[in-house]
Structure 1
Amino acid sequence: MTDIRLQPVDDLQPLGASTRNRWSVSATQANLVRPPVVPQPVTIDAGAKLVTFDLARTAIIVVDMQNDFCHPDGWLAHIGVDVTPARAPIAPLQRLLPVLRGLDVPVIWLNWGNRPDRLNLSPALLHVYKPSGTGVGLGDRLPGTGARVLERGSWSASIVEELTVESTDIHVAKYRMSGFQDTELDSILRNLNVTTLLFAGVNADQCVLCTLQDANFLGYDCMLLRDCAATTSPDYCMAATVYNVNQCFGFVLESSVLTAALAGKRAAIAEVNAP
């Protein structure tokens, strides 16, 4: 007969960085059964379909809403790019992020954050932003502010001040257009027990799309928040991005539709928790 003697539950201690993925252990036991996650289904209109997803296993990834991409004194503006489109996601994100936080949805800031020595950047990557070998590219000092372009810890790489960052938010530095390449993003999401990802930020046709595609390839369910994403590329690039996400990689929806659905979810939760 198998000996199934167990210590009292009170003797077991939680082990794991996330409450969503942890063991319970003691000197003589290891309980690998994770705590159950109560589903929180939300149904939204994603255009061609009504989509139901589990809010309890959802996170939002906000990509590159940084000074160098979105601020009038940042890098893109310095090289002659009109950053007005890149600022368009600020207002809808200001409305959406507090609602998501209030429902315990993790907010992940996925930002360029290069090493000071740039040893994690290949010549091929540097060439994209400095094709002639002259001018201001990744890691070079920006005239005026003196900040190094997209270097971790610099003003250039900081999130624009119009977007509030909370202490509970999660930060991931990336060094490629895809936030999954050479980063800890996938490990973090798996520790959070997340299966559905909401995507926002800039540029929609570059870093947002590359990250979303890799997420799809890794098996995550992907939703692009159309009004919370933007690009400084020509309009047809955004149109192609929306088409390809809908066709191949997930769903596209407006944040106002999501916010309305979440308001209903919050009301339902409040009713359940009412004395």
Structure 2
Amino acid sequence: MDLPLRILGIAPNAWAVNQAIADITRPPLDPQPVILATETKNLRLDLAKAAILVIDMQNDFCHPDGWLSHIGVDVNPARQPIKPLQNLLPTLRATGVPIIWVNWGNRPDLLNISAGIHHVYNSTGEGVGLGDPLPNNGAKVLMKGSWAAAVVDELEQLPGDIFIDKYRMSAFWDTPLDTILRNLGRTTLFFAGVNADQCVMATLQDANFLGYDCILVKDCTATTSPEYCWLATLYNVKQCFGFVTDSEAIFKAINSL
């Protein structure tokens, strides 16, 4: 009688094993091909190989009581992706596309943060920087587990979602993101969040360098930087690193399944 097989790993990077055999064929996921319109050309892609990265939709960057607002930045532009994401994320979940929340969430001891990164957040050494409490509520700036580093309340996170803490502008630097994506067999990445020209762009560029197919979701992405930074980001994504689409085009593609 054949011995039962047990699954080791996460599909599609999983083996089936028992005492006598290791089946390493890795059965593929059922394909979900769709046609997605982008600003440069139509893409034929497989949603079974796709994931969305939602980057830095955190209180420190998007809430009126967060760090950016504390230093005088108008955070209203950073809040623009909230409504489109509220609409898009449930649809992607229902289609089996993983939702990956990428948050800047530092260690309490800040041992992996260089002086240059500290300088970005506290250029004089006298202000409120990484790990310092915000004057209005005491939340520690971008510290994992603090209100400051949490995703804004308006965006629902579910237990089946994936959570990545990052410590640089790129979510691929010193994090398990690349390994997780490869284990899940996800090679097409949608990008959303803030700031488009900083953490979103740095992550998208690194994804491109690593061989991922990159798609920026325009209405689910924003920046508090000047308009020319936004325009340059869109230009460079389309010219060098991937494609630009919007949530409406994604809905149309999914509805065609």
TM-score, L = length of structure 2: 0.98
| Selected match of 1:253 from 235, 238, 245 | 245
Could you tell me which amino acid in structure 2 is paired with residue 11 of structure 1? Answer: P
Larger Rg: 1
Distance in 1 between residues matched to 2:28 and 2:197, nearest whole Å: 37
* 1:201 equivalenced with 2:193 (yes/no): yes
Q: Which residue of 2 aligns with 1:3?
A: none
| Selected match of 2:8 from 15, 24, 31 | 15
Distance in 1 between residues matched to 2:49 and 2:244, nearest whole Å: 18
C-alpha RMSD of matched pairs (Å)? 0.9
Of the two structures, which has the highest relative contact order with CA contacts closer than 8 Å and spacing of 6 or more? 2
* 1:188 equivalenced with 2:183 (yes/no): no
8 Å Cα contact 2:11/2:26 also seen in 1: no
Distance in 2 between residues matched to 1:216 and 1:173, nearest whole Å: 20
- 1:20: Cα distance to partner? 2.1
Q: Secondary structure at the match of 2:69?
A: helix
Q: Which residue of 2 aligns with 1:72?
A: 64
1:1-275 to 2 correspondence within 5 Å? 8=2, 11-16=4-9, 18-265=10-257
Distance in 2 between residues matched to 1:145 and 1:228, nearest whole Å: 28
- 1:21: Cα distance to partner? 1.5
TM-score, L = length of structure 1: 0.92
Q: Secondary structure at the match of 1:142?
A: coil
Identity of aligned residues (%): 60
Structure 2 unaligned residues grouped into runs of 5+: none
Q: Secondary structure at the match of 2:87?
A: helix
8 Å Cα contact 2:60/2:149 also seen in 1: yes
Superposed structure 1 runs of 4+ greater than 4 Å apart: none
- 1:233: Cα distance to partner? 0.2
Q: Secondary structure at the match of 2:149?
A: coil
Q: How many residues align?
A: 257
- Report Cα offsets for 1:17-74 as digits up to 9, x if no partner: x222100111222111101222211111112211111100000000000000000111
- Report Cα offsets for 1:122-142 as digits up to 9, x if no partner: 001111111111101111111
Structure 1 unaligned residues grouped into runs of 5+: 1-6, 266-275
